[in-house]
Amino acid sequence: MAIRKETGAYNRSGTGQEGVVSVIERLDHLVLTVHDLEAACQFYERALGMQVVTVENGGRALQVGQQQIRLHLAERGAEPKARFSQPGVAALCLIAAVPLEQVMENVTACGVEIEEGPVYRSGATGPIRSIYVRDPAQNLIEVAEMAESVPAQATDPVPVDAVVKEISQVLKQREPGLIGEGQEGVFGILLPLVKMDDGKLGVLFEKRASTMRRQANEICFPGGRAEEGDESKWATARRETSEELGVPLQNIHYVGELDRLIGPGHAAVYPFVGYVEGIADMKPNPEEVGEVFVIPLEKLAAAEPSRYTSSLVTQPEKDFPYHLIPGGKRYPWRTGTVEHLFYELDGRVIWGLTARVLAHFLELLSRESRTRR
């Protein structure tokens, strides 16, 4: 509610017109009614990483910045209370402090089902990207991250047809991937940021062991093929990095995700950026890693890779069904080229997929730096 200064008349529009001042400074707390206080505390603490605090009369609350969410038992909530105070009637939207993918990974690891999302919505201050979960009392909890914009397709109304709605729901419940991925496997790799002795950031690289069957002695980032027990592509990259470098999983922290790409043989590659602690105590696996080294991030950002190209030519097999395509053997196959990047630093050569991921990461940093100027 707002009051018009010059007349004292109420303004209920909430539009912030000139001459109108809000009588409310901020939200102090709101109340959630729950069946089981301990179950609720465990849910919000473990699944959403919120701080549980004790308030007056031994009550429990969730601290969110300068605000609180008070948890009241349905049978004996504090007085006075809402006229219809019961579990499962509240719906909250919380803005996450970490990327939404990290929230999804955490709630899934805690056995919490994501009811819907990620989906785009309108938040209080702009577009948001959200998931929906329910707490033990069945209150609806929306967890969101701010979005630069809402894709047009995210706001298109779904047609009334029941089959179309069902198809829409199937598509919303899956994470988009790459068509054809899996022919040679799905891989998660990590671009590891580390703290150097001088306190500055560096990027850690591996040199593959000389005994490796593929790409022996080549420089790469840690990573590998997804396994059935991996909860996400990030979990794959994190696990593989831990196994290859010999560092605990808890020392590998999510920083962000880079663009996905198709590798050799249609392998789907999901690159992430992570921060790795405790590298002084790491014990690289000698069966996979021949050497580990770090290059300062500043030095990489200043480096300019050499660029070369190779041709792509389609060569059908002998039994190719030419009779099924227009033009038969004279069909005008498209040709193209592939660009190869080569970084030559400190007597080492970084090329191939590793160089492409590195260049993409450095370009993102450079673009952000230019934007801030």
C-alpha–C-alpha distance, residues 193 and 203, integer Å = 5
C-alpha–C-alpha distance, residues 232 and 117, integer Å = 16
Q: Give catalytic status of residue 45 as yes or no.
A: no
Please report how many Cα atoms fall inside a 13 Å half-sphere around the Cα of residue 356, on the Cβ side: 16
Given the residues 101, 105, 142, 206, the one annotated as active site: 142
Residues 6+ apart with CB under 8 A from 358: 191, 203, 300, 343, 350
Cα R_g (the chain), whole angstroms: 27
Q: Quick one: which of 81, 79, 136, 90 has its CA closest to 113?
A: 136
C-alpha–C-alpha distance, residues 35 and 40, integer Å = 8
Supply angle C-alpha 67, 72, 73, rounded to 5: 160
3-class state of residue 315 by DSSP: coil
C-alpha–C-alpha distance, residues 132 and 139, integer Å = 10
* Phi, psi of 16, rounded to the nearest 5 degrees: 70, 35
Distances (CA, A) of 72 to 61, 64, 85, 124, 175: 9, 17, 9, 26, 36
DSSP 36-66: -HHHHHHIIIIIS-PEEEE-GGG-EEEEETT
Q: List the catalytic residues.
A: 142
